[in-house]
Amino acid sequence: MGEAVDQGAPQGPQVDVVVVGAGFAGLYMLHRLREAGFSARAFEAASDVGGTWYWNRYPGARCDITTADYTFGFDPELEREWTWSEKYATQPEILRYLQSVADRYDLRRDITFDTRVERAEWDDDAGLWRVHTSTGEDVTSRFYVMATGCLSVPKEPDIEGAARFRGEVYFTSRWPHEGVDLTGKRVAVIGTGSSGIQSIPLIAQQAAQLTVFQRTPNFSIPAGNGPVPGHRAEALREDREAYREAAKWSRIGVPGEVPEVYGVAAPEEVRRERFEAAWAAGELQAITAVFADQGINPASNEILAEMIREKIRSIVTDPETAEALCPKDHYFGTKRPCLDTDYFQTFNLPHVRLVDLRKTPITTITETGIEVGGEALDFDAIVYATGFDAMTGALVGVDITGRDGVTLKEKWADGPSTYLGVTTVGFPNFFALTGPGSPSVLSNMAVSIEQHVDWVTDCLVDLREKGMTTIEPTRLAEEGWDQHVADCAAITLHPTANSWYMGANVPGKPRVFYPYIGGVDRYRAACDEVRAADYLGFRLT
Ligand code: FAD
Ligand code: N01
């Protein structure tokens, strides 16, 4: 393969691969493709690289996987030259890192910014993808890779009257680049997921009055931010490669203990000791692994949940507010738990008020504020921290038409269907990085992105070596994988929650469990096995 521009008929592809998106996934994909000798073009709707870390500039935006782990591991030189300043780096630092990655590997020259891919059709006769962009530029490619992100399409505000508000309106997921000064203002924040919980303490520092509108209280533990944790820094210094290898074969993409203690069986002092250690560690990987059975056994989960509620009650001084902040309608971990810095403490401040939407739902948003439970509250600014059309939003947001004229949106009308979470029947030579049916958002995404990109690149190299030009999963393989993904979720507590993992946050979205919960390690083994078995479950032509 290689550059194959040919204006005469029959026309071949202009590039080997089109990549959509220039976040962690698109950048690494581009780099690997180039290294392997493929020609590639990337298109990015934003004006620069970074993806998540380009768009989400709200106050307090940080990662929630320790940054020493949430980082590329493919190049020891890159690792030697970049030092993270904190346990959980801020958005500007992560953005600078991704910009430096783009510079280091000279990636920008193949990325077209401010350009959205709007449509893509598979041309079965020519065996290529026809990709159409918002600027009118059309490109043809042999392979088409969506690196469009799992959390890149903000959810529309589905609240009556939202368009009427005449004050300032902000979305955490599209925060203005120049920053926002909320000093002295009356501010409403709607949403108490990770974005809300990170931004609320900082918004409270500026606002004259802050009112937080909470529909579902969330489990959150203190991040304990500070320097990179000593044990991780040391392990990396001692044997970087072994540490990264351990991450690849871990459950969530971060080296750590696999718990063996069962919550229901453990003596009270053991439960307490394990919980307090996880609380003090300030790491999702610790609090999600206190008990071996917390994700599957309601009784064990409740033991952990109640210990977190006790902490909330001990922090928040007003008992009614404390109770309203205690999550009781979902099992711990079935909605993504949050890491915070002084979130619960913020509700002790005199100018901060919590409105429990379960008790008093929003009636409407008006020109001047929000009506709730018969009260009309006026605001200067409303901040929406209301989340994303996760996992599939960006994929079906592009009009992608496969072999039989069926679009991806049509095919996935009742929920996504994939083989290995990266390919789908009817869409030859199409890859969705960290797609539904892969560990993706349940894992350290840096590790999962590298794994997907490496697998896709290896696959394209293998095809080239075999003299093959197309790859598509078989229906049987896809059905088997879908069943496996569903079975893994079904034995957990996850399907009980109204979470974005279940598509429950977007009205009308199919209610299935979107990611693969079998673990990063097992997933990697499955992908490796498929490749070792000469692409078992795929049809190559
Ligand atoms: P993205 O970074 O989302 O990049 C996708 C890019 O594709 C975007 O720039 C978008 O503009 C572009 N795009 C989409 N559609 C089109 C189109 N049609 N045409 C052109 N361009 C398009 N994960 C972790 O593992 N650890 C964390 O600590 C963590 N923290 C997070 C914090 C926040 C605030 C958020 C929102 C997410 C966080 N995540 C975290 C998940 C995070 O999204 C991933 O870790 C990772 O950044 C995803 O990289 P990506 O390249 O796959 O997608
Ligand atoms: O979005 P969310 P997010 N009326 O969907 C509420 C990653 N991330 O941007 O739960 C009233 O979690 C909604 O209520 P409910 C991370 O993976 C990581 O915060 O649906 N409220 C919820 O409280 C995360 O999970 C970090 O009842 C409405 C909130 O808005 C994912 O991105 C930081 C509403 C949305 O929470 C998404 O997080 C940020 C309505 N109509 C993001 N609609 C880190 O810490 C929605 N809500 C690294």
Interface predicted TM-score (ipTM) of this complex, two decimals: 0.99
Could you tell me whether strands 362-365 and 352-356 are parallel, antiparallel, or unpaired per DSSP bridges?
unpaired
Looking at residue 257, what is its pLDDT?
A: 86
Amino acid at 501: Y
Give nearest CA residue, ligand 1 atom 26.
Answer: 65
Q: What separation in Å is there between the alpha carbon of 500 and the centre of ligand 2?
A: 8
For ligand 2, say whether the CB of 282 is within 6 Å of any of its atoms. Answer: no
For ligand 2, say whether the CB of 444 is within 6 Å of any of its atoms. Answer: no
Q: Residue 390 is encoded by which pair of tokens?
A: 């996760």
Looking at residue 465, what is its pLDDT?
A: 98
Judge whether 300 and 264 are in contact, CB under 8 Å.
yes
| Longest CA–CA separation in the chain, Å | 77
Q: What separation in Å is there between the alpha carbon of 347 and the centre of ligand 2?
A: 19
For ligand 2, say whether the CB of 381 is within 6 Å of any of its atoms. Answer: no
In terms of DSSP H, where are the helices of 413-474?
Answer: 445-466
Phi, psi of 498 (to 5 degrees): -85, 70
Give 152's DSSP letter.
Answer: -
Give nearest CA residue, ligand 1 atom 29.
Answer: 63
Looking at residue 13, what is its pLDDT?
A: 79
Cβ neighbours for 103, distance < 8 A, ≥ 6 positions apart: none
d(CA 526, CA 19): 24
Helix-, strand-, coil-residue percentages of the chain, each rounded to 5: 35, 20, 45
Strand partners, 365: 370
Q: What separation in Å is there between the alpha carbon of 400 and the centre of ligand 1?
A: 20
Tens of pLDDT along the chain (541 residues) come to: 444 444 444 466 799 999 999 999 999 999 999 999 999 999 999 999 999 999 999 999 999 999 999 999 999 999 999 999 999 999 999 999 999 999 999 999 999 999 999 999 999 999 999 999 999 999 999 999 999 999 999 998 899 999 999 999 999 999 999 999 999 999 999 999 999 999 999 999 999 999 999 999 999 999 999 999 999 999 999 999 999 999 999 999 999 889 999 999 999 999 999 999 999 999 999 999 999 999 999 999 999 999 999 999 999 999 999 999 999 999 999 999 999 999 999 999 999 999 999 999 999 999 999 999 889 999 999 999 999 999 999 999 999 999 999 999 999 999 999 999 999 999 999 999 999 999 999 999 999 999 999 999 999 999 999 999 999 999 999 999 999 999 999 999 999 999 999 999 999 999 999 999 999 999 999 999 999 999 999 999 9
Question: End-to-end alpha-carbon separation of the chain, Å?
Answer: 16
Q: Residue 111 is encoded by which pair of tokens?
A: 């990325």
Give nearest CA residue, ligand 1 atom 27.
Answer: 63
Looking at residue 496, what is its pLDDT?
A: 98
Ligand closest in space to the Cα of 339:
2
Burial of 35 (0-12, 13-18, 19+ CB in 10 A): exposed
Give nearest CA residue, ligand 2 atom 34.
Answer: 386
Q: Given the CA of residue 216, which atom of ligand 2 is nearest to it?
A: 27
For ligand 2, say whether the CB of 51 is within 6 Å of any of its atoms. Answer: no
As a whole number of Å, the CA-based R_g of the chain is 24
Looking at residue 7, what is its pLDDT?
A: 42
Give nearest CA residue, ligand 1 atom 42.
Answer: 52
Helices 520-532 and 230-248 meet at what angle, rounded to 10?
30
Q: Residue 288 is encoded by which pair of tokens?
A: 């999600």
Ligand closest in space to the Cα of 219:
2
Looking at residue 529, what is its pLDDT?
A: 98
Q: What separation in Å is there between the alpha carbon of 196 and the centre of ligand 2?
A: 7
Total length of the chain = 541
Give nearest CA residue, ligand 1 atom 15.
Answer: 148
d(CA 210, CA 185): 8
For ligand 2, say whether the CB of 386 is within 6 Å of any of its atoms. Answer: yes
- Which of 442, 445, 520 for a ligand 1 pocket mutation test, highest count of atoms within 8 Å of Cβ? 445
Ligand closest in space to the Cα of 504:
2
Q: What separation in Å is there between the alpha carbon of 25 and the centre of ligand 1?
A: 8
Give nearest CA residue, ligand 2 atom 7.
Answer: 194
Provide long-range contacts, Cβ within 8 A and 24+ apart, for 321-324: 321/347, 321/354, 324/214, 324/217, 324/354, 324/356, 324/359
Give 44's DSSP letter.
Answer: -
Cβ neighbours for 438, distance < 8 A, ≥ 6 positions apart: 418, 420, 421, 422, 448, 452, 515, 516, 523
d(CA 446, CA 71): 6
Q: Given the CA of residue 500, which atom of ligand 2 is nearest to it?
A: 5
Give the position of tokens 């203990």.
257
Looking at residue 60, what is its pLDDT?
A: 98
Give 122's DSSP letter.
Answer: E
To the nearest 10°, the Cα dihedral for 140, 432, 457, 132? 10
Q: Indicate the pTM of the whole model.
A: 0.97
Looking at residue 6, what is its pLDDT?
A: 43
Looking at residue 4, what is its pLDDT?
A: 43
Q: Given the CA of residue 445, which atom of ligand 1 is nearest to it?
A: 25
Ligand 1 contacts (CB < 6 A) are 20-26, 43-46, 51-52, 54, 56, 61, 63-65, 70, 116-117, 147-152, 195, 394, 398, 433-434, 444-445, 449
Judge whether 43 and 144 are in contact, CB under 8 Å.
no
For ligand 2, say whether the CB of 447 is within 6 Å of any of its atoms. Answer: no
Q: Given the CA of residue 338, which atom of ligand 2 is nearest to it?
A: 45
- Which of 18, 56, 148, 284 for a ligand 1 pocket mutation test, highest count of atoms within 8 Å of Cβ? 148
Report CA 15 to chain centroid distance, whole Å. Answer: 29
Judge whether 66 and 287 are in contact, CB under 8 Å.
no
Q: What is the DSSP string of 182-199?
A: -TT-EEEEE--SHHHHHH
Q: What separation in Å is there between the alpha carbon of 162 and the centre of ligand 1?
A: 26
For ligand 2, say whether the CB of 63 is within 6 Å of any of its atoms. Answer: yes
Judge whether 23 and 94 are in contact, CB under 8 Å.
no
Looking at residue 8, what is its pLDDT?
A: 41
Looking at residue 2, what is its pLDDT?
A: 43
For ligand 2, say whether the CB of 193 is within 6 Å of any of its atoms. Answer: yes
